[in-house]
């Protein structure tokens, strides 16, 4: 009996954030089904450094990550960094 391809969980990239009062950390993990999560990057902290640029450089150096996926991840990181900036680091 052939497996239904929709039921197969595929590996995926996951952005992780550490939300703090004066900084926000952005990291990238690789989720592998049946194995868990493997960190691909350290956390890059904004505004101490340009976390977005650091993430972009890492993504560009991973040829197995498509241009489309890279753009999606960078746009998501931008959205969260902007949300953090607008909130002043306050979660409430």
The answer to whether position 3 is within a domain reads no
Judge whether 5 lies within some domain. no
Residues 39-62: what's their mean pLDDT? 92
Look up the pTM and report it.
Answer: 0.79
pLDDT digits (tens, 9 = 90+) for 61-88: 999 999 999 999 999 999 999 999 998 8
Q: Is residue 21 part of a domain?
A: yes
Plot region of 48 (φ>0 → left; ψ -120 to 50 → alpha; else → beta): alpha
- 2 occurs within a structural domain: no
| pLDDT confidence tier of residue 1, bands split at 50, 70 and 90 | very low
Exposed/middle/buried for residue 28 (C-beta within 10 Å: 0-12, 13-18, 19+) = buried
Q: Is residue 6 part of a domain?
A: no
- What total of structural domains would you count in the chain? 1
In a domain, 30, yes or no: yes
Mean pLDDT computed over every residue of the chain: 87
Domain extent for 33: 12-90
- Indicate which CATH number applies to the domain containing 60: 3.30.390.140
């Amino acid at each position: 009996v052939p497996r239904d391809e929709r039921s197969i969980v595929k590996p995926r990239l996951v952005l992780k954030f550490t939300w703090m009062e004066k900084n926000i950390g952005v990291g990238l993990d690789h989720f592998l089904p049946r194995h868990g999560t493997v960190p691909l990057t350290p956390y890059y902290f904004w505004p101490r450094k340009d976390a977005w640029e650091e993430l972009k450089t890492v993504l560009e150096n991973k040829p197995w990550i498509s241009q489309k996926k890279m753009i999606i991840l960078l746009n998501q990181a931008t959205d969260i960094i902007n949300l953090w900036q607008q909130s002043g680091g306050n979660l409430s």
